[in-house]
Each structure stands twice: as C-alpha cells, then as structure tokens.
Amino acid sequence: MIKNKSILFNRENLGDCLAIALNKNPQDILMEIRESNLKGRGGAGFPTGTKWMLAAASLANKKYVVCNADEGEPGTFKDRVLLSDFPDLVFEGMVISGYAIGAQKGFMYLRGEYSYLLKQLNDQLEKMLKEKRLGKNILGKGYDFEIEIRLGAGAYVCGEETALIESLEGHRGEARNRPPYPVNTGFMGNPTIVNNVETFVTAAIIMSRGGEWFTKLGTGKSKGHKLVSVSGDCEEPGVYEVPFGISINELLKMVKAKNAKAVQVGGASGYCACEGEFERQISFEDLSTGGSIMIFNQSRDMLHVLRNFMEFFVEESCGQCTPCRIGNKKLLEGVEKIEQGDCSLSYLRELIELGKTMKIASKCGLGQSSPTPFISIMTNFEQEIFSQR
Amino acid sequence: MDKIVKDNRAPVSQKPLVMAKVDKDAIGATVGIEINGNPYKVMLGTTILEACRENNIHVPTLCYHEDLCLAGVCRVCVVEVEGMNTLQAACTFPIINKVKVRTTSEKVRKARRHVLDLMLSEHYGECYSCHRNGNCELQKLAKEYGVDSYKFGHIQERRYKIDRSSYAVVRDMDKCILCKRCVRTCIDLQEVGVLEAINRGDKTKITTFMDKPLAEVVCISCGQCINRCPTGALKANDPSDEIWNVIDDPSKHVVIQTAPSPRAAIGEEFGLPAGISMTKQMNRALKMIGFDKVFDTNFSADLTIMEEGTELLLRLKKKLVEGDNNVRLPQFTSCSPGWIKYIEHFYPEYLDYLSTCKSPQQMFGAVIKTFYANENKIDPANIVTVALMPCSAKKFECNRPEMNASGFKDVDYGLTTRELAQMIREAGLFLPDLPPDTFDEPFGEASGAGLIFGATGGVMEAALRTAYELVTGRVVPFENLDILPCRGFDGVKQASVKLENVKPEWSFLEGVDLNFMIAHGTANAKKVMEALVRGELSNIHFIEVMACPGGCLGGGGQPIPTSPEIRKKRAEAIYQEDAGLPVRKSHENPHITYIYEKFLTEGPCGHLSHKLLHTHYVKRGKYIG
Ligand SMILES: Cc1cc2nc3c(=O)[nH]c(=O)nc-3n(C[C@H](O)[C@H](O)[C@H](O)COP(=O)(O)O)c2cc1C
Ligand code: SF4
C-alpha cells in the first residue's frame, strides 16, 4: 500500500487507460509519452518516449516489450506494491507500449522472491484475456498482444536490461555490449523495450490524464511523481508517492525520522548524503533514485554500512569484466583494512581513484555505480570513520 | 527451445555485432571520424579498434581475438568517445556516426593501468616459472604500461587444482584472467561447448559441465583454446621430460616422425615471420638433440592415401556394382583425431561413414615397431616412437587403448611444435642458424602429396592425385597437379571431378562425377554432419574433415599466436614446398612401392593392412560416466 495520499497512483476519475490508448494511433501515443517527459523509473531515467520511438522506428518483423519486475536494488520494494495493487495498470501499460511500438509479445521478468505474486498476476492476465483486454483482437481494435511471466533466479545483475534479456533467452545473466541497444537488438536479436513496472503504470495513467497534466507535476527536468521505498531509522517506513524536487529534509519529516546522520539515495549503488546535504533534492537533476531511500541515524557505524554494500557487490557482480569483478573485491578489502586499522590514507586515495575508474570503465551499470557508496561514504564520513579506529 | 539451442549456441552477447539497420545511402558508406585529433575515413559499422588498426594506431587488447566473436570483458582496450560519460571498449564499439576518439588520454591510461593492476593482483604465480614466459600477452601489457609493483597486492595462494586429467590439455585456472577466449573458442569457433563460466562475482571461474575433469567431458582435445589463451592458464600435456629421459637412455632406440605442419611454423617460435619452412634445419636440430632416427610423417601420409583411396574405390564398387546398401557413403577422412573424437561424441550413430584408416601418425607407429624393427633387427620393445605433431589431440590418439597393433604402444609420445621448440632451446640451439640436413632412410623422402596434408583440403588433393590416376591412367586434369578447388580457407568447400575414359577394371566409374567436400574446424564439420543427417549428401562421395580451422597448420600444438593471416602464410609455405618436390603423388613415392612389395604384400586394404593400418571407433556420446 502507498502510505501517503496519492495524486498519480489514484484510481479516482481515472478513465479506461487501455481503451483510451487503443483509440489513438500509435504515433499519437508516442508523441504523448514524449511530451509528458516521462523518464524511466528503474533508476537510469532514460526518456521513455525516446526509447519507445527508437523501437518503433526499428525495422523488424518481431518486437518485444519487457517489464522489468526484478526489483533487485537493496531497499527497493515499491514495484511490489504496484504489482499487488495495480497489476491491471502494469499489464495495460505493457499492452499500450506494445501497440505503440508494434510488438506482439511481452514478458514480465518477475523477481524470484516475488513468486508468491505469480498466481495473482496470472489470474489478472486470465481476466484480461476473458475481457478481451489481452490476446487476439484486443477491445475489437484488431491488435494482438500476449504476455508471459518469467521468473528470475535471484541475480541482482539480471535487473540490468541486457543481462535480463540474456536471462530471458536462457543464457547466463551477463550484460551485453552496448551499442547496439535493446531497442535495435534485444530479445533474440529483435527490437525490445525494457521498462520498469512503475514506468508502465505511469505511462498507462498518462493515457487517461494526459501528458500535459503530467508535466505540471515535478521539477524542470523531472516530471511527475515518484514512488520511493523508505527504510531504515524512521518511525514510518514504507512506500510513499513524492513529487520530484522534494528535499531530503522534507522526506525525513514525512517518515518521522529522528537523528538522521546519513541518507542513502538510490539503493546500495546510490549516493550516501550526509547531514550537510539534506537540503538536496530527489530528482534526476540532483539525487536520483530508482526508489530506494535508506536512513541511518547517529547510532550507525558508516563503515559497517559500507561493508554491507560492498559485500553485496562482490557477490552480485556478474564477474565478466575486470573492473567490477576484481575492483569491488579490492574496495571491500579496503574496508576490511580500515576496520583493522591498517589502511593508509594514500591507499584509500588509490582506492577512490580505482572507484572512479570502475565508474567509467566497467561494462554495465552495476560496476559503473557500485563504487558510488564507497566514494560518497569515504568522502562524507572519512573523519568519523578514521577517528573511531 | 530446441531451435534456440541448435541455432544459437553462443550467447548473443558473444556474437559479432548485429548492426541496426541504417540507411547507408543517406549518410554515405564511409564516415569521417577523428582519432587523437587526426581525421580518418572508415567504413560504416567498423569498430573503433578496427579503425585504429587500419590506421596504425595502437590500442592494447586482451580478450579480443581476430578469430573469435566479441566479448568486451577485459576492458583493456577502453578509449574515450566524445560525448559519452563512460569509456568505451574499442573492440565492440561500432562506428555509425561521426565520433571523436581519444586513445591515450589521461583517463584512458589511468583506467588501463588500473585494469592491469587488478588482473595482476589475482594472477597467481611468477613469470619465470611459467611456460608462457616471453610469450604472454598479460606480461607484455604489464611491460607496456610500466607495471613495477603490485599496487593492489598479489595473490599468494592457489585457489584451484591444476586439471591434468586430459591427455591433451592441462588447465591451470589460477593463471586465468577470465578473458573467455577459450570459452568463445570452444562454443563459437569450434561449436563444441565444453567450457563456460560458472558462479558470479569473484567466484567466477571457467570450467566444464558439472565442474568435471576435462577428461570426463566432451572435450575433443583439439587444443584450439590453448592457441588462443593469452596467459599460461592452458597448455598442452608436455611429454618432453620423458622424451629427454629416453634419449638419454642408451638402451632405447628413439625414432621421431615429423608431420608436415610443424616445419612450416616452428620458425615462428624463434622469431621468424610466419611462412618460412624449416624442414632441413629441424632435421639437423632433431639429430643434434639425440634422436636416433628422424623420419617424415609424409611417408605414412602417402600410405594413408593408398589405403584410404583404395577403401573409397572399394566402397564405390560395393555400392555401385554390388548394390550393397550396408556400405556407407560419403566416406569421411579419419586423419584428424580431434574430428574423430568430435564425431564419436556428437554423431556416434554415424561412425560407419568414417574411413577405417588410422591417421598417418598411428600408421607410422605401427610400421616402425613391425616392419622397421624387423628389417633393422631391433627389438620393438626397445624402440620409442615420438610423433612431432601440430596437434594436441594426437596426444589423446596415441593413448587410445586400441592403438597397439604392433603388440606395443604404436606411438609412445605425441610432441607438439611448441614443445619441440622448447627442447631445441634447451639444447642450446638456435634453429634458423642451423645447417640443413636430410631425413633418415628408409622413410625419408616422401611426396608432396603427403606434405600438403597440413593444409585444409590437402588430403583431398592428395587423394585425388592418386585416385584419378589409378582409375583413368592419366594425371589429374589440373595444371601442375595443383587442384585449386581444394585450396583456400572457405569453411566448407565442394567440387567435383569427372571420371572419363577409365581403365577397364573401373568401368563402373565411367562418366561418374566424383563429388567431394572439404570442411575445417568442427563448427563447419557440424554443418556438414547436419546436412548428412538431413539426407542431403547422397550425391557426395568423399569428405575431408579437419578439426582445426585451417587444417593441421592451425593445430592446437602450433606456435602461439594464431590468426587467419598467420595460417595463410603457413599454408603458402606448405604449397610452395610441395611445388618444388620431385615426387608429388603418393603412389609414386618409392618407399611406398617398396613397403607394398616387401611387407604389405596383399596391397592396400589387404589383411596385414587391416591389422596394422586400420582401426575402429568408439560410440562415446555426450554423456560420459
Ligand atoms: C545492476 C542493475 C540492476 C538493475 N535492476 C533493476 C531492477 O531491478 N528493476 C528495474 O526496473 N530496473 C533495473 N535496472 C535498470 C535497468 O537496466 C533499465 O535501465 C530499466 O529497466 C529501464 O526501465 P526504465 O527506463 O523504465 O527505468 C538495473 C540496472 C542495473 C545496472
Ligand atoms: S560491470 Fe559488473 S555486472 Fe556489469 S558486466 Fe561488468 S562484471 Fe558484470
């Protein structure tokens, strides 16, 4: 359940998104999504309209839609809420995007740990089939689209879209080289769009409420509202709908957090803000997040927090590229050295430089973002960490 | 799903790029780009690496290999592309619009150095105790980037046990840098698929199905992975210590036969460019090392032609004249032990299509420990036969339990080109400087037909030179005996020769088009086998298959590195030497005539031949207990 009052994820006066969309022609849908300025909710924030247009422009007989429901980022649980409360809109969003780009088939890649949702989701698909909102000749408009749910097996990297596609194809979950991008060469070599659960729901809602309405919410470059999953040291953790542009301070107040010392924005691979930065905003222009906000109060040992994150990455790197496979291990070893009090400052500087290399030289987003907590925690909390040892 | 597995064994991520459809006319087929501030024009779709190489701009690589599909995993070749936040792997980045690239900026140099430092931190062991010392790509890069310390430490303990289970390939995963060249070689180049990465993160390792020893999986022993390993993680099972021991033992009569391909490549081990034959210098080196006799495997290649050619003609006769439907055609060649193991594992139902002839290596072993031993009054128990081969599968082959027709192990050791080069170095010799020497009699001079066995298509060409003449009484209708349709590096070649005005005893072949095919590399062999399974090869009579790309000259025991260019040069050296030989047809080799007069008196495919020179195969299948 979403904890605060929803503006966006609100069924009041919401029209029949699917019917409205299918009454338009595909180009108009693409234009509307583009004009809404909707950006991907999975974390990277790529403009959804552009992604769909690129896929629509790719020449191919077969195209695919993939809903990324892998929700693997530590501290994120907002997709689970959408899958439980708005499964109809998730699937409708997929049908709408399929119609817009000219795809006949969609996959939902569902996080393995969410298998308990499988029955409910399949029931929803069944229901949509019966109501002719899925399958052959949807709503009598002559458009066919089917959806298949596939379960992930617990690898974090399989949330990365190209690794996800490899996994869908039955291969080892490893990120692909890009370019070419999935919009050209995706599932089985065909144009494929991969979008987050929230992106699909939001796109469906935009069909009913209109792109213009949507652009009135949020900030200059970050339109609309965002679901965030807040966890950690606060009285009311949970999933909230927030407008882009909300400051960390406002957010802390909302969830009744006291004595916060650090806020990790964007999950394990996100940025760790210290108290001096709590006026910064949640938005694509400032601190962006796929949905995870973790709060740490004064009692927390930031080195321990960092150790947890780094252990996660050492384990979850797919292991194919050098900077990520070995780099994360070296960063974790660095944390251990600090714990044991035998890490020189010059070695720490070297590790931070290594982290910067990992950010630009790794093959996929995992290795490109995993040094972020290391660098931000070491920079923001260096004194505290070293004074305690 | 079946289809996916069949058509798409290599993950798409490891296939060459599939380009987005672009309107080439609109932008022109070439793009103007900028590298390090200088303008260049390249073809649309060229990768940055290719663009740099075309223009002599050095970009270091490690996981990239010309023969293999792309991986983009080592991150050594990263370059800066203007407008992109992250560095890009030059080997995988396709140029589809104007890009500005920088190959040596501060960011790039720093990143490469970091990547190297990371690799070295996990790379177990020291260079001086490694067989690739001096020929290791990682070592070379460390020098190029001036590595003088282990910035991020250096692993002190072994993590893995060395796998020595295979007769052919030894795997030391502690030296592996996870470039996946071996994986791509096995699954994409050879389409065998024995190796794959398992686990994640820092537990990632390259291994076999269920982590089994290599001897217990469907490895065909071709050793192509060894040729492409940038470090010392893979090597052939080296018998040179044992060979030194028997050389030093005066009671042993140590005989070495040398295959055609090593002589065309061994110079590379001594710094010579590819394509220079070292036959005569090698003879001298072998004698100086202390081998008692140095023979030419080309002799038994000629013997193979006699036996295999006769076998084919007999099969044709049985089928066409006697209407015997148990006769299997097309007949497949059987000289390549990697190919034999491949078909035994993957197409065990089709073993009857194989010629029953042993490979030249094994024929020679059997002849030495019988005919030669007898003629020279040497107890075969005291003869040690060594086979200098371009091949790692030969090591497996000589250890096959059925290979003891002489009553002894017919061939005691298979020695690769690389291992011999090492022995020559150890003997203090510099091969290119040695004076020339000849082979020893009685198996010295051989024909050019035997020599060209080393190149893909060579066996076919040699067989045709003899079979055509046998059947028609005339030489093959090709200028200078050069049967050009057999040559070149196309994956699968097909051609035919019309048999006309045949001798009376072959009248059933009058007017027949002899159709033949040639495949090299097991990926191409697989295409042929699939066509056979679909029943599409009923008009084909004879098929040559070599397990290795390029044929034996590209074998798993040949000098490292390998590339299409290098293999082409080696082939040229072989064909050149053939063209200059006085005898170029197997049946005209005087030693062949002699052995059929004196020893194999029933002629090719007679009883004794069958006992000594022919063999049978094992239905191995894919699941090994
Ligand atoms: C390591 C890694 C894990 C990711 N995990 C997820 C995930 O669980 N869910 C998700 O929607 N996106 C995830 N992403 C982002 C996807 O790669 C992709 O950008 C996203 O699905 C695109 O959808 P959007 O444009 O709608 O955000 C992940 C990215 C990386 C690098
Ligand atoms: S960055 Fe990490 S997860 Fe991504 S490809 Fe490289 S090793 Fe795999």
For A330, name the nearest residue in chain B, comparing CA atoms only.
B152
Q: What is the DSSP string of B110-148?
A: HHHHHHHHHHHHT--S-GGGSTTTTS-HHHHHHHHTT--
Q: Looking at residue B480, what is its pLDDT?
A: 92
Q: Looking at residue B152, what is its pLDDT?
A: 97
Q: Looking at residue B442, what is its pLDDT?
A: 86
What is the domain count for chain A? 3
* B3 alpha carbon – ligand 2 mean position (Å): 29
Q: Is the pLDDT of residue B339 over 60?
A: yes
- Shared domain check, A377 and A363: yes
Q: Is the pLDDT of residue B9 over 60?
A: no
Spacing of C-alpha A56 from chain mean position = 23
**Helix or strand (DSSP H, E) at B170:** strand B169-171
- Shared domain check, A183 and A86: yes
Q: Looking at residue A388, what is its pLDDT?
A: 78
- Shared domain check, A100 and A175: yes
- Shared domain check, A252 and A127: no
- For residue A89, the distance in angstroms to the closest alpha carbon of chain B comes to 31
Identify which has the larger pLDDT, B12 or A145: A145
Confidence of residue B446 (pLDDT cuts 50, 70, 90): confident
DSSP state of A247: B
- Shared domain check, A151 and A48: yes
Tens of pLDDT along chain A (389 residues) come to 999 999 999 999 999 999 999 999 999 999 999 999 999 999 999 999 999 999 999 989 999 999 999 999 999 999 999 999 999 999 999 999 999 999 999 999 999 999 999 999 999 999 999 999 999 999 999 999 999 999 999 999 999 999 999 999 999 999 999 999 999 999 999 999 999 999 999 999 999 999 999 999 999 999 999 999 999 999 999 999 999 999 999 999 999 999 999 999 999 999 999 999 999 999 999 999 999 999 999 999 999 999 999 999 999 999 999 999 999 999 999 999 999 999 999 999 999 999 999 999 999 999 999 999 999 999 999 999 998 77
Q: Give the Cα separation of B462 and B309 in Å (integer).
A: 10
A263 torsion bin: left (phi>0), alpha (psi -120 to 50), beta (else): beta
Q: Is the pLDDT of residue B5 over 80?
A: no
Helix or strand or coil: residue A206? helix
Last residue of a domain, one of A163, A191, A215: A215
Confidence of residue B53 (pLDDT cuts 50, 70, 90): very high
- Pairs of residues, one from chain A and one from chain B, whose beta carbons lie less than 8 Å apart: 147
Q: Give the Cα separation of A71 and A159 in Å (integer).
A: 7
B18:A180 CB<8 A: yes
Confidence of residue B625 (pLDDT cuts 50, 70, 90): low
B472 touches B500 (CB < 8 A): yes
Minimal-distance CA residue to ligand 1 atom 4: A159
Q: How many CA atoms lie within 13 A of B302 on its CB side?
A: 26
- Shared domain check, A239 and A109: no
Q: Looking at residue B26, what is its pLDDT?
A: 46
Domain coverage including residue A253: 225-297
Look at residue A166 and tell me if it is in a domain.
yes
- Shared domain check, A329 and A288: no
CATH entry 3.40.50.2300 includes domain B253-625: no
Q: Looking at residue B29, what is its pLDDT?
A: 81
Look at residue A52 and tell me if it is in a domain.
yes
Same fold: B29-237 with B253-625: no
* A19 alpha carbon – ligand 1 mean position (Å): 28
- Shared domain check, A92 and A210: yes
Q: Looking at residue B191, what is its pLDDT?
A: 95
Look at residue A11 and tell me if it is in a domain.
no
Reported as a single tens digit per residue, the pLDDT across B70-107 is 999 999 999 999 999 999 999 999 998 899 999 999 99
**For the domain that residue A320 is a member of, what is the CATH number?**
1.20.1440.230
Q: Give the Cα separation of B529 and A355 in Å (integer).
A: 50
**For the domain that residue A78 is a member of, what is the CATH number?**
3.40.50.11540
- Known catalytic membership, residue B394: yes
Q: Looking at residue B16, what is its pLDDT?
A: 44
Q: Is the pLDDT of residue B110 over 70?
A: yes
CB contacts, 8 Å: A174 with chain B = 11, 13
Look at residue A6 and tell me if it is in a domain.
no
A360:B111 CB<8 A: yes
Rounded to a whole number, what is the distance in angstroms from the first to the last CA of chain A? 42
Q: Is the pLDDT of residue B25 over 60?
A: no
Minimal-distance CA residue to ligand 1 atom 31: A365
- Shared domain check, A159 and A50: yes
Q: What are the φ and ψ backbone dihedral angles of A151, each rounded to 5 degrees?
A: -95, 135
Last residue of a domain, one of A174, A191, A215: A215
Q: Which CATH topology does B29-237 take?
A: Ubiquitin-like (UB roll) (3.10.20)
Q: What is the mean pLDDT of residues B378-407?
A: 97
Last residue of a domain, one of A273, A297, A321: A297
Closest C-alpha among B254, B191, B189 to residue B218: B191
CB contacts, 8 Å: A368 with chain B = 86
Look at residue A3 and tell me if it is in a domain.
no
Q: Where are the domains of chain B?
A: 29-237, 253-625
A363:B75 CB<8 A: yes
- Known catalytic membership, residue B510: no
B105 touches B135 (CB < 8 A): no
Confidence of residue B28 (pLDDT cuts 50, 70, 90): low
Buried b (16+ CB within 10 A) or exposed e, A355-364: bbbbbbbbbb
- Shared domain check, A166 and A31: yes
- Shared domain check, A264 and A229: yes
Tokens encoding B251: 């009671």
- Shared domain check, A259 and A136: no
Q: What is the mean pLDDT of residues B118-145?
A: 96
Q: Which amino acid is at B347?
A: Y
Average pLDDT, chain B: 94
Look at residue A183 and tell me if it is in a domain.
yes
Q: What is the mean pLDDT of residues B387-399?
A: 98
**For the domain that residue A284 is a member of, what is the CATH number?**
3.10.20.600
